[in-house]
Amino acid sequence: MTHSREFYYQNLIELVLELTTDCKERVLDLIQKRMLEDNTSRKVSSYIRLGWPEKKDMDPVLIPYFLKREELSVEEEILLWNGRIVVPESLRDNFLMMLHNGHPGIRSMKSVARNHFWWPRVDRDIEMMVGKCLRCQRSRAAPEEAPIYSWNVPSRPWSRLHLDFAGPFHGIMWLVIVDATTKWIEILPMVNTTTQSTLRVIKNTISRFGFPHIIVTNNGPQFVFEEFEQFCKNHSVTHVKSTPYHPRTNGLAERAVRTFKDRLKNEKGNRWQILEKVDEFLFTYRSTPHSTTGRSPAELIFGRRLTSPFDLLKPDLKRKQDQA
């Protein structure tokens, strides 16, 4: 990289994360300015308006754009490919740093990029960035083991929940809840792990998503006390506990715990800084298409993608259509 880390955050990341209407205008102004300064972007924009030359007459640098010419457009002086920002060279490191925030890994980074922006060989640049990141290499999770116990996937979200505790991790005990259908994850810090505290956190989650039909847990003391069983019985929830003969009945929650720990094991900071990092991890996880469903947990549970900082960098095409 040719600029300092502070430069990137000052010019793009902080502007987006502290977003206001004025801030969005400033970010769009920055992207427009860099587009106009970028020789490749200027040429491509000119070809879109005036027509493309023959492929044989083109600068080799422009061939990747020529091959996508039918899907390229210019809105508010910003070059787009199928609605994604075509990032000028001077801003590519900025976008890669935003994408790399939280160290989500190659697959997640590529998936997010495909929703929001493009430039020639962007996948290669992502792979190179992750390959050079020691923290990403240390955080690579081990291959998943094949499940011993196979569940059917419920047709409706929030029908079957898998619960497990993680910790103490960064000095905190966490309750991890996974929806079997959407793969949506809740990671909740616990004051303590009594049955009463566990039920309080579960009830809080239910207040937002509704009651499940099935709850799957291990045989931890929080889950085998009469109070927990009575709660399930009172609300017609079937409680399934893993057994020594099928220890990975609750494998979905165990994998979520491993993913959570792998992603955050290298984080440092006080309690509030760790909680902020957990929120960042959850946003990225919930926004990224899952390997088993092909869609993000947010899409499956809410019917829409979560709005990300990258969405806020794009021209507001819908507003323009509404005003037309």
58-103 tens-digit pLDDT: 999 999 999 999 999 999 889 999 999 999 999 999 899 988 887 7
Range(s) within the chain of domains with CATH label 3.30.420.10: 160-302
The span from the CA of 253 to the CA of 260, in Å, is 10
CATH H superfamily, domain 160-302: Ribonuclease H-like superfamily/Ribonuclease H (3.30.420.10)
Nearest 5°: phi and psi at 52? -95, 140
How many other C-beta atoms are found inside a 10 Å radius of the C-beta of residue 121?
Answer: 10
Residue 20: its pLDDT value, please? 44
CATH number at 11-138: 1.10.340.70
Query: What does pTM read for this prediction?
Result: 0.77
pLDDT averaged over every residue in the chain: 85
Q: How confident is the model at residue 165 (pLDDT cuts 50, 70, 90)?
A: very high
Range(s) within the chain of domains with CATH label 1.10.340.70: 11-138
% of the chain surpassing 70 pLDDT: 84
- Rounded mean pLDDT, 288-317: 86
The span from the CA of 297 to the CA of 3, in Å, is 36
Q: Is the pLDDT of residue 126 over 90?
A: yes
3 state DSSP class of 224: helix
The span from the CA of 106 to the CA of 111, in Å, is 9
